[in-house]
Structure 1
Amino acid sequence: MSVMQDYPSRLSDPGSRKLGTFSYLPPLDATQIRRQVEYIVAKGWNPALEHTEPEHAASHYWYMWKLPLFGETDVDRVLAEIEACRQANPGHHIRLIGYDNIKQSQGTSMVVHRAPVAR
């Protein structure tokens, strides 16, 4: 049996906060992010981006980056939007969402850029 690991995440320390399932893993590299976008597109989901300041990342409200990319099938266009959002908001975390039209919900959601947090 494996040993359960404790993650010392605290509200008082924005750098320690976990932001969804993937945040317990090492940060995704460019290839892994591309694979996630490919998965979203292959499922027919609509990609969307949200961003927020690190100190507000635990909030339910994140700012929407433009409108969701309805019907987008070009992975490179989605990746370009992630980069454009990062360039426009260098101090923000960025979250990629795949909206499922059939179930009317988020099919997936993950942080694809985590801004450095001043301590």
Structure 2
Amino acid sequence: MSDMQDYASSLSDVKSRKFETFSYLPEMDKEQIRKQVEYIVSKGWNPAVEHTEPENAFGHYWYMWKLPMFGETNVDTVLDEAEACHKAHPNNHVRLVGYDNYAQSKGAEMVVFRGKPV
């Protein structure tokens, strides 16, 4: 039986904070992010992009980048919007969300760009 691994994360250390499921895994490369977007689109979920300052990631709502991309099926369009948000707000965390209309909740959510704490 393997030992449980402890992640050094604290509220006072912005860089150590964990966000959503994927943040406990090694950082995803562009191809792995693309696969996640393909999954979101294949499920019929509506993609959206959100961002926030690293110090506000836990206690505040995230800002929505434009409106959710209702009915968007082009993976490149979704990735381009995430990249545009990151370029406009380079110091912010940027996350990709897949809204599930049927369950009326988020079906997927992952940080795709980590901001630099000020």
- CA deviations on 1:10-61 (whole Å, 9 max, x unpaired) are 1111111101111001111000000000000000000001100011111240
Structure 1, unaligned runs of 5 or more: none
| Alignment partners' CA distance in 1, 2:45 and 2:115 | 26
Per the alignment, residue 61 of structure 1 pairs with 61
Per the alignment, residue 6 of structure 1 pairs with 6
Larger CA deviation: 108-117 vs 10-19 = 108-117
| Paired residue secondary structure (1:111) | strand
| Alignment partners' CA distance in 1, 2:59 and 2:79 | 25
Say whether residues 1:78 and 2:78 are aligned partners: yes
TM (normalized to structure 1)?
Answer: 0.96
| Alignment partners' CA distance in 2, 1:56 and 1:19 | 12
- Please report how far the alpha carbon of residue 116 of structure 1 lies from its aligned counterpart in structure 2 after TM superposition: 2.6
Kindly report the root-mean-square deviation, in angstroms, between the aligned alpha carbons of the 2 structures: 0.9
| Paired residue secondary structure (2:102) | coil
TM (normalized to structure 2)?
Answer: 0.97
- Please report how far the alpha carbon of residue 115 of structure 1 lies from its aligned counterpart in structure 2 after TM superposition: 1.5
Structure 2, unaligned runs of 5 or more: none
Per the alignment, residue 24 of structure 2 pairs with 24
- Matched-pair identity in %: 67
